[in-house]
Structure 1
Amino acid sequence: MIKIRLSRADDGHRVIDIWRSAVDATHDFLSSEDRLAIDDMVCGFLPQAPLWLAVDGNDSPLAFMLIDNGHMEALFVDPAFHGKGLGAALVRHGLAMHPKLTTDVNEQNGQAIGFYESMGFLRVGRSPVDGQGRPYPLIHLEYRDRS
């Protein structure tokens, strides 16, 4: 049974492990230099960030989501649990709090774009670089209720 809860200080190492394994599995378009620079940046803030976690029956984190002012800044699932509904559960949780949730996805990550579009997100824009000015275009998405 999956439960969603807020992160605690002792979740930091596991969250970094999830982030690293998920990025390694899905972000093969990153240069090795950019991957290391992003890792340094993420390790500096992610363990203290207010995250929503999907945890298993033993309270062990399997996936996490970061939302800031109605914008999903991050959604990462341990690759061993891809396709199990953890990402969808976290997105539904986010939508319950922020019905007009937005997010950005790397254009090179077609699997993630497909996931968000299947959840009801629509493309509303594009940026030629990522948030740090690196050459990884972003697709801007916004949730639109289909009912």
Structure 2
Amino acid sequence: MIQIHNEIRPIRDEDTETLVNIWLEASRFAHGFLGEERLQLQSEQVRDIYLKQAENWVIIHDGKPAGFIGLVGQFIGGLFIDPHIHGKGLGRQLLVHALDLKKSLELEVYALNTQAHGFYLRNGFVEIARFAEDDEGLPFAVIHMRRDA
């Protein structure tokens, strides 16, 4: 299998709306259990807070932004790929890039998001803790994971 490497670059102001749309579509796919109202509210927080505060790296596929990883120090605040092009190795490329930069990464993933949990396990992350509630105190279990380079 030929591995295609896409350009990975820092976020630009003009990427914001595209990345918020990718975040929302990917979250509907992976976090539908949170409900549309909560996802809409969170998408505003992604636009107004998280994309501005995190160190964001954008992956370019077929000439346009196709996903991003947001880092806060060594913590992955989010990794989102356009769900229409899952399975092309874009998420893995972003992880490799982040590991090259940070040498060690941690993250939290919803236990109900079995696809993402499996993705992180396949990419060398190990579970270090589980919590019964998410950061907002909602009754959705989260798994804390870590990987060293």
Alignment partner, residue 47 of structure 2: 43
TM-fit CA distance, 1:35: 2.3
Alignment partner, residue 71 of structure 1: 75
Alignment partner, residue 7 of structure 2: 3
- Secondary structure of the residue that 1:108 maps to in structure 2? coil
Q: State the alpha-carbon separation in 1 of the partners of residues 92 and 44 from structure 2.
A: 28
Q: State the alpha-carbon separation in 1 of the partners of residues 79 and 44 from structure 2.
A: 18
2:60 to 37, 55, 60: 55
Matched, 1:86 2:86: no
Q: State the alpha-carbon separation in 2 of the partners of residues 83 and 57 from structure 1.
A: 15
Alignment partner, residue 98 of structure 1: 102
Q: State the alpha-carbon separation in 2 of the partners of residues 3 and 57 from structure 1.
A: 10
Q: State the alpha-carbon separation in 1 of the partners of residues 148 and 101 from structure 2.
A: 14
In structure 2, list runs of 5 or more residues that go unmatched.
none
Alignment partner, residue 108 of structure 1: 112
- Secondary structure of the residue that 1:130 maps to in structure 2? coil
**Letter aligned with residue 97 of structure 1:** L
Alignment identity in percent?
31
- Secondary structure of the residue that 2:93 maps to in structure 1? helix
Alignment partner, residue 121 of structure 1: 125
TM-fit CA distance, 1:26: 1.4
TM-fit CA distance, 1:57: 4.5
2:26 to 19, 22, 34: 22
TM-fit CA distance, 1:46: 3.9
In structure 1, list runs of 5 or more residues that go unmatched.
none
1:141 to 137, 140, 145: 145
Asked whether the equivalents of residues 131 and 141 of structure 2 are also in contact (C-alpha less than 8 Å), the reply is yes
TM-score by length of 1: 0.90
Q: State the alpha-carbon separation in 2 of the partners of residues 8 and 43 from structure 1.
A: 13
Q: State the alpha-carbon separation in 2 of the partners of residues 39 and 56 from structure 1.
A: 22
Please say which of residues 92-101 and 38-47 is displaced more in the overlay. 38-47
- Secondary structure of the residue that 2:108 maps to in structure 1? strand
Aligned length: 144
Asked whether the equivalents of residues 13 and 47 of structure 1 are also in contact (C-alpha less than 8 Å), the reply is no
